[in-house]
Amino acid sequence: MPHGGSSLDMQHEEISAVVADLAEFRSALDQVKSYAAADDLAAQHFGKLGDIVGVGGTFTGVRDTLRGSLDKLLPHVDQLVAALNAAVKTTTETDAEAAMNLGAVDGR
């Protein structure tokens, strides 16, 4: 129960803020993905020293892992956003219907 009260009301403002934060997070992930996809550095771009210490291969390996992780993550974030939006819509409609039914019972 919110804030220790006995109300079953959904905190619509707070849920809307979570939805907005999640949409902002999704947008940030798009920017990271664009950055990772645009980076075409290869191991040979790091020169002889980079080749000797292996930094070029390490960099491209990490970048490719990041690309793969984002490709896996983004559909899940999209599903989460869609599910949360659907839940908000359903709950809002249910709240409105419950209020209407309570009003009918009270004779309003």
* pLDDT tens readout for residues 12-30: 788 888 888 999 999 999 9
- Asked whether residue 36 is assigned to any structural domain, the reply reads yes
* Number of domains comprising the chain: 1
Query: Average pLDDT of 7-11?
Result: 65
Q: Which residues constitute the domain of residue 49?
A: 20-93
- pLDDT per residue as tens digits for the range 31-48: 999 988 887 878 788 888
> Per the confidence metrics, is the pTM higher than 0.85?
no
Cα separation, 74 vs 33, whole angstroms? 9
Q: Is residue 5 part of a domain?
A: no
**pLDDT at residue 48, rounded to an integer:** 85
Half-sphere exposure of 100 (CA within 13 A, CB side): 6
Q: 11 lies in a domain?
A: no
Look at residue 106 and tell me whether its pLDDT is greater than 60.
Answer: yes
Largest CA distance in the chain: 84
Q: In this structure, is residue 73 part of a structural domain? A: yes
| 70 occurs within a structural domain | yes
